[in-house]
Amino acid sequence: MGGAGAAPQTSTNWVPVASVKSMADLPQEEGKVLLVDTMAPQLIDGAVNPNGAVGVVKFKGSTHCIASSCPSCRIPLAKAKVLDPTEETGTDPRICCDFCSATFNIRSGQRIADAGGSGLFGGIAKSIMNAQDSRNGVLPLETYELGEKKGSVFINLP
């Protein structure tokens, strides 16, 4: 199975994506985040992600698969801005949470310099809901590989 633009993972835990019949059913509109229910038990969280959703984005011909929620504020990324690459990301596009403005490399998930602006509630949201790590106080964005085999779509989970 081939990846579809996601960061390489060492895992080979390919799980079928129940709600998608083929790669052609994934988003075709450039730069928009589409939430896709995977129904993968590893992603299901009854409180915040009952259908195991992931975000799928098409950008300049590549399809990227990411966690459905921002690791900084935990708000769904359905309205996140997909931005062109910068020197910091090389050829990889960026994704910016519309709520808190946390910005990530869409392929690797690495936290990068915020794209600007303060998001809907700015620093208040960050300080209240922040998930901690060593880089700017925010965990990386989970990224996943997508692939297709015999007409079925699969996601590679850690």
- Tell me if 42 is assigned to some domain: yes
As for how many domains the chain has, the answer is 1
Residue 129 region, left (φ>0) first, then alpha (ψ -120 to 50), else beta?
A: alpha
pLDDT of 142: 97
pLDDT band at 133 (very low <50, low <70, confident <90, very high): very low
- Tell me if 34 is assigned to some domain: yes
Buried b (16+ CB within 10 A) or exposed e, 62-85: bbbbbbbbbbbbbbbbeebbbbeb
Kindly report, residue by residue over 36-67, the tens digit of the pLDDT: 999 999 999 998 899 999 999 999 989 999 99
- Tell me if 20 is assigned to some domain: yes
pTM of the model: 0.81
- Tell me if 3 is assigned to some domain: no
- Tell me if 1 is assigned to some domain: no
pLDDT of 129: 46
- Domain containing residue 149: 13-157
Residue 108: give its domain's CATH number. 2.102.10.10
- Tell me if 44 is assigned to some domain: yes
Kindly report, residue by residue over 99-132, the tens digit of the pLDDT: 989 999 999 999 998 876 555 454 444 444 444 4
